[in-house]
Every structure is written in structure tokens, then in C-alpha cells.
Amino acid sequence: MKRSNVLFGLIVWLLAALSFASSPAGAADRVALVIGNATYPHDERALAQPIKDARAIAKELRRAGFEVITGEDLTRQKLRAALRDFKSKIKPGSAALFFFSGYGVQTGKRSYVIPVDAQIWTEGEVKRDGISIDSILSAMDSAGATVKLVIIDAARRNPFERRFRGTSIGLSALTAPAGTLAMYSAAPDRVLYDTSGENSLFVTEFLKEMRPGVSAQRIFNNTQKGVSQASKNERVPWVSSSLVEDFYFEKPPVVATRPERPRDEPAPKRDEPPPKRDDLPPATRYEPPPARDDPPPPKRDDPPPAARYEPAPPRDDPPPPPRVEETTRYEPPPVKRDRVIRDLDRQIDRNPRDADAYYKRGQQWAMRRQYALASDDFGEAIRLNPKDAESFNNRCFTRAVIGELEAALDDCNEAIRLRPDYTDAFDSRGFTYLKLGRYRRAIADFSRALKANPDMASALYGRGKAKVKNGDRRGGNADIRAAKRIDSTIDREYEDYGVR
């Protein structure tokens, strides 16, 4: 064998080896990770749609030629393992897609998808147990994906993101690398309630728009438009794109076209001449519809007799308005000591002086609408730690819900004395004033909370209610509409608290 042939063969072998080394085993041109998390122990019941939505999305992506990794009700360990598997299958220059339906939490202007076994009580624990969407995008980018698609349906009210924690609601906007197309089921800092049906409205519209030959950008935009129209603008998905070129889930079909005839080439002669005008079939003769025997119009001389005026009977003077705002009576649901509550019971049994355990159990009772039990636990936390402003604030709110309004007011005043800039305490005191019928003071406290946090839906809605009751119907309704744009469930939440 000649030396040149040996050298050529060695070069070919080296190139092949380098090519094999640069592409992980099993790497794919199109790969997707699809996750549906529905069963969170801290929630009262499993979410109805995430797993069904994830299965429907996975089926459609497989049909479009994606290699799909799926996961349902993933713990933190399993979620991280699925992400490692996903990254290993991304080939340089390929397309990668991440879909998640479940709970998400925003903290520090970053959004985190939450595994089902998360134990979250503080913002630091969000970062410990959650997986940031930015880090997932970064992993897709570092693996070499040139097209990165992210679809997140996690803008739900959740057990980690309630009034009893000070984090922002909804998800935050992404800072996406080049080549990213992202879509959330709701705008940043907005939350939604789940609709009835086999799939969520968001996924239903997305699957409806996912057709062959339509670019991903157009599918995302059409989904945004479809959800907005179907919900009468109550929910508008958020779309962000830094794609340079169009990407298709399914490549447009190749359509055979007739070759263009050169200009100097005469047109081919037809075998049959066009039909003469006399050969055309006669037009159908117009026949007007038969006349109807309509009744004659009434004569102007015979107007109907005018109704006799009868003065209304005199009314008694309306009773003076009550001092306390009329609200529906709060009825708690049946008490259930589920696994989370039982774990906290055991923690308190082991150490009856654990103020933090009482506070956590109070949070859990409040999430389960057991406000009286929550108030008792916050009271124990205060007894063990009299300088706990958060426990004073939470007991203020739970007392206000169950109608102990003057005692609630004392608690809110103490929370604000301990922490003069405590935004949640101003919101809670505004709510207490609203139920007391002291509307001007309610408006002032809600406005103080909104100055610190303009997107605080509870304060916007409460201020709107107080303005309406105080005679400012236009300003109040504007606040209520703004609150519902941020949190479409806020009116239901206030009804749950006894304010209609």
C-alpha cells in the first residue's frame, strides 16, 4: 500500500473519530423534554390538566419527528435526571424543546419550575428545590442547540405563593439567548385559574394551531391570539422570540409546480375551441317569491291606550348603613389532617416551643381555608416570639376573615409597629378596614401597599371595592379590572374571604 493512501486513510479515520466524539451517543436533530407535574403534597388536590396536557403535547411532537423524553409528577431528583438525559441528547446545530405544566414560582426576577416533593417555606428554598427556567435554557444553549423552544404553563396560583409569603406572583420574563422562542400561558407577573375541559385552554389552542407548513413563530402568535379571543382578553399568553430564521415543527411539504414557459415560446393550441356564446346554457329565469298575506300596518289614528299613571306607594326611609361592611358569613370546609399537617403535628409534639413549626402549620391551615385554626397557630407563634411581625400580620388577616375585626386591627397595627415598611401588613389592615366599613382608611392602606408593589392584585382589588363603596364607582371599577388582569382569580379569593 502506498504511503499516500495510508495517510489518507488515517485522516479519514481521525475525522470520523472527531465527529463521533463531538456528538453524544443517541443525540438527535430534534429532541424535546415534556413534563407534567400535578400531584403536589402541599396542595389540597391534584391539578386536573398538567399530565393530560403533557401527554397531548408529547404525542404531537412525536408525530412531528421529535425524539421525546417525558416525565410525570417528577421529584427534584427525577427532574434533574430528566434534564441531564435531555441535554445529553441535544446535538450541535439541532432543535431542542422544553415543555412544563405544573407549578412555577418567581423570586429574585427569575422563574423556577417546581418538583412535586418541594419543601418551600422561604425564598431561599425556592432556589434550593426549584429549577430555574433560565438555567434550563442555558443548558440547551451550551449543548449546541441552535433553536431553543420553551413552552411553560405554570402561571397558576399555588400553595407556595400565597398571601402568607412575600414573593411576587406569576412568572418573570426570560432573558433568552439568541435562537430562542418562548411562550408562557400568561403574561409575566400574572396568574390564571384552570379552566374545565380535557386540556387547558392554552394547550388546546396550541395543538389547534400546530399544523404542517406553519412556522413555530406563527403557531405561537396564533396561540396567543386564540387564547385571548376565547377568554375575551382575560388571559393573554406571553411570547418572546430571538429566532433569526423560521423554524417548522414539520417542514413545509414540497409542492410540484408547472415549469414556467419561455416568453418567446407560443402557447400550445387547444384541441377544442372555446364554446360559442349561443352554446351556453340559458340562465335561470328569476321568479320573485310569492307575496305573503302580511297583516295591514296599524292605523295612525288608533294608538294604543296610554297606561294610567299610578303613583308609587310611599317608601319608608332606608335604614342607616351598618358600621361594619355587610359580608357573607365564612363557613370553613371540613377539617382534614393530611400528610403535611401530620408532619407538622409531630414536629410540634417533639418540641412544643418550636415557634417556626406553629407558624408553618398556621400557613398550611390558612391555605386550606381553616382560618380559625390558622389564627390559633399564629397566636402560639406570637406567644413564643412576641416580635414576630409576620405572625402578627397573618393572624390579623385570618382574624379579619372570620370576623374578629377589632382584634385583627390590633394585630395589624402591631405588625406595622414592628416593621414600618411591611407591605403585606398594610394590605391586611386595608382588608380589615374594608370589612369594618372604614373605606377611606382602607383606600389609604391599600394605596400604601401599592406604592411599594404596584402589581399587588389583592391590594388593587380591595382598593377598588373600597372606592366603589365610598362613591367612586369609576375609579373603583378601574382598580378591579386592573387587579383581575394581574390575577384572574382575585374576585373568587375575596368571595372566599367573605367580601362580595
Helix (H) or strand (E) holding 133: helix 133-142
Can you give the pLDDT at residue 270? 47
Residue 60, C-beta contacts closer than 8 angstroms, at least 6 positions apart = 207, 210
Report the pLDDT value the prediction gives residue 245, as an integer from 0 to 100: 87
Cα dihedral 153→159→163→165 (10° resolution): -100
CA 260 to chain centre: 51
Residue 182, SS3?
strand
Instruction: List the chain pLDDT tens, one digit each, 500 residues.
Output: 444 454 444 444 444 433 333 344 456 689 999 999 999 876 767 888 999 999 999 999 999 999 999 999 999 999 999 999 999 999 999 999 999 999 888 877 788 899 998 877 777 778 888 899 999 999 999 999 999 999 999 877 666 655 444 445 667 677 778 899 999 988 776 776 666 778 899 999 999 999 888 999 999 999 999 998 988 887 888 899 999 889 999 755 544 444 444 444 454 454 555 444 444 445 445 455 555 454 454 444 444 454 444 444 444 444 444 444 445 555 666 777 877 888 889 999 999 999 988 998 998 888 788 999 999 999 999 999 999 998 999 999 999 999 999 999 999 999 999 999 998 899 999 999 999 999 999 999 999 999 988 888 889 999 999 999 999 999 999 999 998 887 777 888 898 888 88
Tens-place pLDDT, residues 15-42: 443 333 334 445 668 999 999 999 987 6
CA–CA separation, 96 vs 29, rounded Å? Answer: 8
The residue behind cell 429549577 is 131
pLDDT of residue 283: 46
* pLDDT the model gives residue 290: 54
At residue 288, the pLDDT reads: 52
Tens digits of per-residue pLDDT, 432-463? 999 999 999 999 999 999 998 888 888 999 99
pLDDT at 16: 40
Q: How many CA atoms lie within 13 A of 365 on its CB side?
A: 24
Report how far residue 389's alpha carbon sits from residue 407's, in angstroms, rounded to the nearest whole number: 15
pTM (two decimals): 0.59
Amino acid present at 308: R
Structural domains for the chain: 25-241 (3.40.50.1460), 339-496 (1.25.40.10)
Q: Do 393 and 411 form a contact (C-beta atoms < 8 A)?
A: yes
- CB-based contact 321:494 (threshold 8 Å): no
